[in-house]
Structure 1
Amino acid sequence: MTVNAQRALRKTRTGPSRRWMVAGLIGALTLAAGCSTREAQSETADTGSAVSFVDQRGQTVTLDGPAERVAFAVMPAPSIFAAVDRGYDRIVGINRSTLVANQGGMFATMFPESANSAVVAGNDFMPNVETLLQLDPDVVVQWGDRGTDVTAPIESAGFPVAGLEYGTQEDLETWITLFAQIAGKPERGQHLVDWQRDEQAAMRAEVAAQTVPRPRAMILSRTGDTYSTTSAQGYDGFQFDLVGAELVTEGFTSDSGQVSPEQILAWNPEVIMLSGFDESTPADIYADPRLASVSAVQNKRVYKTPLGGYRWQVPSAESPLMWQWMHKILYPAARDGALRADIRAAFDDLFAYDISEAEIDEVLRIDMNRDAAGYDQFLR
């Protein structure tokens, strides 16, 4: 039985989809109220025909038309989809980790409904089929490279699955393109991919012009007294090289990512960027006597990574902003005072949101980073 046939059978058993019952009312309210600012600025979706795309499993997925309801078992996909759509209206379910990020950052400010989104999967990415049945999405976005355990329950329930892979800039650009197809906005997707590529080219040119040695740097996470980091095999291998850093974890391998204070001392990074996936702060690192002789600690070059629409350290629609931030803290002499203006322009283009100066402070974690070396370049 095909996915569409399974879904049709499920709907005959459970009754008509909620969106069909309220479609007339929504249409009437829209006509009465007029378009919102975001709607007026967003590219209109092509709603006239079926949508077909090949996901990262190599499987062809066909929808009746641009999706009206999308559930995401993975992160940071919802923020990328919201950037493609310039809105949150179609997102009906998310991963629990995404919900935490939404509630702790700018996303819930831009899209208040995102702070109360239904959770369709946890950290293990196993789908909550009962919740999916209640939400009735047109498509579910799930990992496509973690086996059928995480996809088969969704497809068995009658929902199409868009399978994703993660870890490279090419994957990120593929996500943007796929989400634009799902939303019926291919031109919007191309616009965002072009921005990513243009910013990469500009960054490479800027790094090539540097005449000083590459600073030694790393991403660091802390939970209790335990540290962990990332390797050059993942996305950090790409972006640290892109922004002109020497990633000290080159060649580091660990199933858990855990790293000892002794190893951090041996690497002796000049710059430490703290993960946005935990509650660690620069003050925590400075206070750890085990790291007192590390160059980044001695020179106050420990920085909490920004939190915008999502955590900037991972591939996202905001990645070009992360590259700029990284480069400017690595090379403070190259300061140009442009990042705040670039954030303002990007949030308008990505999310149709007029971000305030105080909100830019929140994104840049000014409260935690204010006293770090070179961070005065980001102050108002």
Structure 2
Amino acid sequence: MHRNPCIALVAGVGLILGGCGDALDDDPDGGGARETREVEDMLGRSVEVPESAKRIATVNVDAFRMALHLGVEERLVGIPSDMYGSRFSEAKPIEVEAFGRLDEVAMVGGGQPGSEFSAERVLATEPDLFIYWAFSRGDDDQAMAEQAERYEQQLGVPVVALNTLGRERASQEAVEEQIEQAYRLLGEVSGREERAEELLDFYHATVSAVQQRVAGEQPPRVYLAHRRNLYNHVSFYFPVELLGAEMVTAGRAGDDGEVSAEELLSWDPQHILLHTPSRASRVERAEVLDDERLSGVAAIEAERIHRFKGTYMGWDLATGLIDLVHMARVLYPEAMAGVDLRDRGEEILEVFYGDPGLYDRLMELSSLEDG
């Protein structure tokens, strides 16, 4: 079961992260009249929320993960339905493993950005805050904001929209700003501002340590394959951007989409990375190596085929850091010599989730070390 320990460990990046945020309120009902505050959500909406929300319902997997990261999982009264037992995976992902109350908390629908949910199930949880997505592939920010307003009127409780990775990916700075905004916003509405800052400090220190190691290295050419099909590419993954690797699909029109064998031959990537959120959702490595259409591609000839966990109904900052370390090790092996992925992965997951042993579950699902 997930714990909320005071973090005082030396992480693999050499960062000492000490101290805990304020202790959780022992009176979840508030004990009387509750103060409110105005916050601005990630759609630019001004929302009046409880001073510190005690009963949180969400269909947003990013928000579910972040609630565990911030140590407020006991306040979750409604959670997304599709995290576990969905078409993506019958096995429990690490965030579900870390959440010890899965059988006790109502599943209210949703999961992926912009997905449908049951208003009746949400209302039955009697929340004082509902967290929705600030992003979906099908709607722009204005449409999402209007939808959030409709949900607020329908539910009769404050609706806050957020996510860790959204539509704005024009630069590393823009993505970092989104990540920081998401954690600070949830930290503010849950009264866990200090914990949010600790996690952001740890995140930035880890990224900086890896980037310093690989600085000056020749960027390799990489191709990111989608979980469904080698010939369906992933156009953006933030850890790859942070490492400065050369995406062979850069400049190609459109977002994720189909590519041809001829294109892969012409791009000649040095590494192929396979999106692997679970064992039920993956391209088999042997299938890639045995594809005669790709004979002559550098990554195939050298058998440089690697897995990465990637996104899964949103993005987990913790597994994103593990992907960063893992990708740095396979793309820049000399610069990352001596860095043990298991040690770093264990530390990262314990910092964010508080539970030891989650790294083994991640390896079982995503196979980062054995290809």
Does residue 138 (structure 1) correspond to residue 128 (structure 2)? The answer is yes
Q: 1:73 & 1:356 partners in 2: Cα distance? A: 23
Task: Give the partner amino acid of 1:154.
Answer: Y
What does 1:121-200 correspond to in 2, within 5 Å? 121=110, 123=112, 124-144=114-134, 145=141, 146-148=143-145, 150-157=147-154, 158-164=156-162, 166-167=166-167, 168-200=175-207
* Residue 73 (structure 2) aligns with: 88
Q: 2:350 & 2:247 partners in 1: Cα distance? A: 32
Aligned counterpart for 2:53 among listed residues 63, 67, 84: 67
* Residue 293 (structure 1) aligns with: 296
Q: 1:203 & 1:313 partners in 2: Cα distance? A: 23
Q: CA deviation at 1:192?
A: 0.8
Count of residues in Structure 1 that have an aligned counterpart in Structure 2: 324
* Residue 253 (structure 1) aligns with: 253
SS at match of 1:151: helix
Task: Give the partner amino acid of 2:78.
Answer: G
Q: 2:2 & 2:274 partners in 1: Cα distance? A: 36
* Residue 39 (structure 2) aligns with: 53
Report sequence identity in percent: 23
* Residue 225 (structure 2) aligns with: 220
Q: CA deviation at 1:122?
A: 5.3
Q: 1:107 to 1:71 in 2, by over 3 A?
A: same
Q: 1:218 to 1:96 in 2, by over 3 A?
A: farther
CA contact 1:82–1:351 (8 Å) conserved in 2: yes
5+ residue gaps, structure 1: 1-35, 373-380
CA contact 1:126–1:150 (8 Å) conserved in 2: no
Task: Give the partner amino acid of 1:92.
Answer: V
Q: CA deviation at 1:174?
A: 1.2
Q: 1:70 & 1:297 partners in 2: Cα distance? A: 48
5+ residue gaps, structure 2: 7-19, 135-140, 168-174
CA contact 2:80–2:109 (8 Å) conserved in 1: yes
| Higher radius of gyration, 1 or 2 | 1
CA contact 1:108–1:114 (8 Å) conserved in 2: yes
Q: 1:117 & 1:257 partners in 2: Cα distance? A: 35
Q: Which runs of 4+ in 1 moved over 6 A?
A: none
Tell me: higher relative CO, structure 1 or 2? Use CA pairs within 8 A at least 6 residues apart: 2
Q: 1:71 to 1:267 in 2, by over 3 A?
A: farther
CA contact 1:81–1:176 (8 Å) conserved in 2: no
**CA-to-aligned-CA distance 1:282-323 (integer Å, 9 cap, x gap):** 23322333334322222222122137xx75994524432221
Q: 1:119 to 1:299 in 2, by over 3 A?
A: farther
SS at match of 2:61: coil
| TM superposition score normalised by structure 1 | 0.74
Q: 1:119 to 1:365 in 2, by over 3 A?
A: farther
Does residue 304 (structure 1) correspond to residue 320 (structure 2)? The answer is no
Task: Give the partner amino acid of 2:330.
Answer: I
SS at match of 2:180: helix
